[in-house]
Amino acid sequence: MSIWDKLFGELVDVIEWTDDTRHTLVYRFPRYGNEIKNGAMLTVREGQLAVLVNEGEVADVFEPGLYELNTANVPILSSLQGWKHGFESPYKAEVYFFNTKVFTDMKWGLRNPLILRDREFGVIRVRAFGSYAFRITDPHKMMSEIVGTDGHFVLEEINGQLKNLVVSGFAKVISESGIPVLDLAASYDDLGQFLTEQIQPLFTSYGLKLETMLVENISVPDSVEKALDERASSIAVGDLNRFSRYQQAQSMRDAANNETGAAGGGMAMGMGFGMAQSFGQALGKGDATDPLVPPPVPEKVKEIKHYFVVIDGERVGPLNLSAVAQMIAKNQLNANTLMWTAGLDDWVAADGLSEVQLHLSNQPPAVPE
């Protein structure tokens, strides 16, 4: 450094930083020998924080404003060795400016498909991408964890690491959440807010704050997309079938109300009967292509009744009819045993229930002596 730079550094008493690059996170103010004169003016603009470092130790942090640097109004500096003699002492200090504006439109994306276990599709691969925004909130932590002695720390030096934090956090949160793939794509806004809250602690450890995380797209393999399209088509076909039956019903009503004459009435009546017949067949048989029509109820499915019995003065149950039959076979229940089931007003003897009486009558008589 030339003698003119040294002389200029000793005469200049204004410390400030203006950034036109829009990608600088941390900037160290250049001073010859890092010497700061007593009474130097420090200007911190909106969107900035200034940090004074003395011999590798953070002395103070200044928010936006205009400051006169002397030991009277910077008590932390006066506690450090040498500052008690004023800024004219040979001890040096460094001034770092931190850009606290929000850095937006930071892109992220999965390099490789994320393998998920989906309740509906089984094991599936998904891809996702989006953007995020962050800002500096703790310059002390950021300096100790990332910046170090870097005098010009730019966005490109940390962009890769932040992208890795977002991608790994996304993969971890989505894998552990168990949210179905179709629900992931249903509301990107809610998903982005949820991911922001979950990934924020990863940024806090670097002195940063994750302002927003946006999910712009979640895609599945072509084979899964084809299956989804086929399912949507089948549902659409079912809707068309129901609409066709509705139109037939409307035609029947119009035919019945037609008063254009005997011939026209007879023709309309014939058409109405034909439509009614086809409509009745459609209703009776159902449409096998309609995915929303449930299968017929099995005839063997009946309501299961439960019973309560009084054994040794205590109520036992609920029991199904099979359990009652087993008690009869074991001579634990006889015709006089009190029983109750839904629909009865009071306890009745076991032989008063027809279904129980059938099992009582099937028991063999006592063995002759």
Note the pLDDT of residue 64. 92
Domain positions in the chain are: 3-99, 103-220, 222-258+277-291, 307-361
CA distances for 339 relative to 225, 325, 331, 360, 364, angstroms? 59, 13, 15, 13, 22
Query: Longest Cα pair distance anywhere in the chain, in angstroms?
Result: 132
Beta bridge partners of 129: 109, 217
pLDDT at 23: 87
Pairing assessment for the beta strands 307-311 and 208-219 based on DSSP bridges: unpaired
Binning the chain into helix, strand and coil, the percentages to the nearest 5 are: 40, 25, 35
Whole-angstrom Cα distance, residue 1 to residue 219?
Answer: 57
pTM: 0.54
> pLDDT tens digits for the chain (369 residues)?
454 454 444 444 788 998 877 889 999 888 666 567 777 888 999 999 999 887 777 878 899 999 887 755 554 454 444 444 444 444 477 889 999 999 999 999 998 888 888 877 788 888 899 999 999 999 988 888 888 878 888 888 888 999 999 999 898 888 887 778 777 777 788 888 888 999 999 999 899 999 999 999 888 877 777 777 676 666 655 555 666 666 676 677 676 666 555 445 555 545 454 554 554 555 455 455 555 556 665 555 455 788 999 988 889 888 888 888 888 888 888 888 999 998 888 899 988 888 888 888 877 766 666
Q: Is 301 left (phi over 0), alpha (psi -120 to 50) or beta?
A: beta
Residue whose structure tokens are 């909130």: 137
Residue linked to tokens 């410390």: 15
For β-strands 314-319 and 307-311, DSSP reports them as antiparallel
Q: What superfamily would CATH give domain 103-220?
A: Band 7 domain (3.30.479.30)
DSSP 243-280: HHHHHHHHHHHHHHT--S-HHHHHHHHHHHHHHHHHHH
